[in-house]
Amino acid sequence: MSQSVARSRINSRTNHEAIVRNSSLLLEAIETAYDRIEAERDRNCWIHLRPREEALEQCRKLVARARTGENLPLLGIPFGVKDNIDVEGMPTTAACPAFSYTPWHSAHSVERLTAAGAICLGKTNLDQFATGLSGARSPHGPCASVADVRYVAGGSSSGSAVAVAAGHVAFALGTDTGGSGRIPAGFNDIVGIKPTIGLVSSRGLVPNCPTIDCVSVFCNSVSDGEAILDIIEGFDFEDPYSRQPRTFFPADAAAPSFRFGRLATSDLECFGMPECGELYEHACERFARIGGTAIEVDFAPFRQAGELMFSGPWVAERHSAIASLVDVESNSLLDVTRTVLASAAGYSAIDTFGAIHRLHRLRRSAEAIFAGIDALVVPTAPRPFTLEEMQRDPITLNNRLGYYSYFANLLDLCGVAIPNATLPNGMPMGVTLLAPAWHDRALIGLARRFEASAGGAAFELKFGG
């Protein structure tokens, strides 16, 4: 299947009857996906892979249904699912073999995708129990960036991002608690959409921090991501964390001109790699060229909220969620996972309520800032780190990766991570658009304009080419 056909398929722009008549193209795409996966096992991006013939047979059955007139907008599109999200009949392990179980039902988001005709090829690698931002905390091996195998892919949704960037699948589901749906997108030159918390049901998701977990989408273009979001979003009464939007802001809410928040030079933290800051400045210039007015904002409330994620009592919520699933003191967890969770013991209920009260004050400060801008633009990550560097200092460097991402869910923001530019060493560095809850479509509209300003060549759907 050619790149152009694959792109139009995911956005439902192709003549449905023509695709059904040429079902051999769909089967060829599945075959190509498996050939690539088998040739690149060393990427460590898959934990469980569905048998090839099983996927091909499902494709044939879907085509037969489509021939009877059933509308299947994602007919035959292959995708991957992070292995902390349930897929019926496939083991869920959260990268902890001792935890493994096989669910009878798929997660709500997966059910919607398969109902639309998409085909799940398997479960992707992750930082164990989604605890980390590096992609190097898995018993199944680390995931490296597709751009340079010396560097981390970013996590915890590393496998999903790598599977998309390597052309194994057209899109993949990840999760995002502190940046896991954005950091891997930035280091693999793809798009990561982190919806408003509760916009997509978290039913069927292995809990991490349940109050701020959300399902995310990795894809190769903003339009692809919007098409997937259209299918998986929606209120789910059976999910206690699902929410009904008070107001939903459309994609053209900030068009044709808009105001974007940008960091002051003094707030731009690159941890010793100033060239990353230069790429951020170029991104701000691009936003200005497409109609944006830059407004320098105070980053302090965002930075302080981010510090609460892993230097505050929210790690206790993570400990509580994981301890309900496995013995966190046993040898079933990686040492680094156990070390992170052990820090929860240092926080009392008094500490927790104090942090909640502080977070409410920080949210009010953020609201005041967003009252004057349509979106905040930040680097997706401060800088890339090599796998070797991450192994030497896994906790410090992991937390540095979250400098621009930790605060988003705590402040109830939605986000879209988009490719920006490439460092001299060849590593891609993205930027992320952030806005208050329910501004998802407005952000997508701005992200699409930014993407188009690059000329589109870097954003061709990589699957099936």
pLDDT score recorded for residue 7: 40
Question: Which amino acid type is present at position 411?
Answer: L
Specify whether 156 is catalytic.
Answer: yes
Specify whether 12 is catalytic.
Answer: no
pLDDT score recorded for residue 460: 31
Q: What is the pLDDT of residues 121-138, one digit of tens each?
A: 999 999 999 999 999 999
Q: Could you tell me which residue, 10 or 174, shows the higher pLDDT?
A: 174
The pLDDT of residue 43 is above 90: yes
pLDDT score recorded for residue 17: 61
Distance (Å, whole) CA 3 – CA 24: 16
Distance (Å, whole) CA 216 – CA 437: 15
Specify whether 61 is catalytic.
Answer: no
pLDDT score recorded for residue 148: 98
Q: From the CB of residue 19, how many other CB atoms can be counted at a distance below 10 Å?
A: 20
Choose the catalytic residue: 23, 82, 134, 462: 82
pLDDT score recorded for residue 330: 83
Q: What is the pLDDT of residues 148-205, one digit of tens each?
A: 999 999 999 999 999 999 999 999 999 999 999 999 999 999 999 999 999 999 999 9
Sheet holding 214-219, edge to edge: 46-49, 119-124, 78-82, 171-176, 214-219, 191-194, 413-422, 428-436, 375-379, 258-263, 292-297
Distance (Å, whole) CA 375 – CA 258: 8
Whether the link from the prior residue into 223 is cis, omega within 30° of 0, is: no
Choose the catalytic residue: 23, 109, 156, 201: 156
- Average pLDDT (77-100) is 97
Q: What is the pLDDT of residues 314-370, one digit of tens each?
A: 889 888 989 888 888 888 899 999 999 888 888 899 999 999 999 999 999 999 999
Q: What is the pLDDT of residues 280-307, one digit of tens each?
A: 999 999 999 999 999 999 999 999 999 9
pLDDT score recorded for residue 13: 42
Indicate the pLDDT class of residue 100, thresholds 50, 70 and 90: very high
Choose the catalytic residue: 23, 134, 145, 180: 180
Count of alpha carbons within 13 angstroms of residue 131, beta-carbon side? 31
Whether the link from the prior residue into 256 is cis, omega within 30° of 0, is: yes
Residues in CB range of 441: below 8 A, 6 or more apart: 226, 248, 249, 250, 251, 253
pLDDT score recorded for residue 461: 28
Mean pLDDT rounded to a whole number for the chain: 92
Indicate the pLDDT class of residue 253, thresholds 50, 70 and 90: low
Distances (CA, A) of 89 to 63, 121, 128, 198: 22, 12, 21, 26
- Average pLDDT (50-58) is 98
Q: And the tokens for 5?
A: 């056909």
